[in-house]
Chains A and B, each alone.
Chain A
Amino acid sequence: DTGVSQDPRHKITKRGQNVTFRCDPISEHNRLYWYRQTLGQGPEFLTYFQNEAQLEKSRLLSDRFSAERPKGSFSTLEIQRTEQGDSAMYLCASSLQSGTNEKLFFGSGTQLSVL
């Protein structure tokens, strides 16, 4: 399968714990995105990487959130001192930079539940 893969699929944690999610984009894609989706809502943009450079962060991404893409391939999203409001589906997506319409491909997401 050469799609976007995310790990884990589900994560249950207690409030105050740290969690880390991983995303493996489609191999030739140089752009990688993190989105967050809460119940009954559409995905909201969190951050974007072009190769290893993080080029934009949403104001939704508080200081407790950090994302990395160290070698321009896989990415990790860490949430420190989790809060119940962090419970959501975290979606990773990737695309290949092009001069015309880039198509964004999403992974199946990591469902986070903070108790």
Chain B
Amino acid sequence: GEDVEQSLFLSVREGDSSVINCTYTDSSSTYLYWYKQEPGAGLQLLTYIFSNMDMKQDQRLTVLLNKKDKHLSLRIADTQTGDSAIYFCAEKTGGYNKLIFGAGTRLAVHP
């Protein structure tokens, strides 16, 4: 069945890099996404990667995809306090946006 798993919590020092990991089970995933959720807010699309790519960089964000191991990661360079939030990994398998989300990783950035 479809399942997306993430570690629940990550704590980093301001200025360091953060790496948030995700594993998924559906090998027919077409796109994989990273969303950010701040308290009391909806989900904000951060970045995404197409399944035939293995890396995508977007300013401070780097997404790595290992399709063989069904492993996705999000690296945030020079992490700032404003990056503190919950980060969700999601996979898309169909032709529309029925996304399967992980439970989210809470990123805490401390001075």
A binding-site residues for B, Cβ under 8 Å: 4, 31, 33, 40-45, 48, 50, 55-56, 91, 93, 95, 97, 101-109
B43 and A45 contacting across the interface, CB-CB below 8 Å: no
Check: B24 CB closer than 8 A to any chain A CB.
no
User: CB-CB contacts of B82-111 with A at 8 A, as 1s and 0s?
Assistant: 000000101000001111111110000000
Q: In this complex, what residue of B is CB-closest to A92?
A: B42
Q: Interface residues of B: mostly helix, strand, loop or mixed?
A: strand
Name the A residues within 8 Å of B88 (CB-CB): 42-43
Most buried by A among B44, B96, B102, B103: B96
Give the size of the chain B interface in residues (CB under 8 angstroms): 22
Given A4-B42, A43-B43, A104-B104 contact (CB < 8 Å): no
B binding-site residues for A, Cβ under 8 Å: 4, 31, 35, 40-45, 48, 50, 88, 90, 96-104
* CA A3 to CA B99, docked complex, whole Å: 20
Most buried by A among B42, B45, B100: B42
Name the A residues within 8 Å of B98 (CB-CB): 33, 45, 48, 56
A104 and B45 contacting across the interface, CB-CB below 8 Å: yes
For this complex, 12 residue pairs linking A to B, each with C-beta atoms less than 8 Å apart, are A4-B42, A42-B88, A43-B99, A45-B99, A56-B98, A91-B43, A95-B96, A102-B96, A104-B97, A106-B35, A106-B44, A108-B40
B97 and A109 contacting across the interface, CB-CB below 8 Å: no
* CA A59 to CA B87, docked complex, whole Å: 26
Give 11 A-B pairs besides A33-B97, A50-B96 with Cβ atoms closer than 8 angstroms.
Answer: A4-B42, A40-B103, A43-B88, A45-B99, A48-B96, A48-B98, A56-B98, A91-B43, A103-B48, A104-B99, A108-B42
Given A48-B96, A50-B96, A105-B102 contact (CB < 8 Å): no
Q: In this complex, what residue of B is CB-closest to A89?
A: B42
A43 and B101 contacting across the interface, CB-CB below 8 Å: yes
A101 and B48 contacting across the interface, CB-CB below 8 Å: yes
10 residue pairs, one from A and one from B, having the closest CB atoms: A42-B101, A106-B42, A106-B43, A104-B97, A108-B42, A45-B98, A43-B101, A42-B88, A107-B42, A42-B103
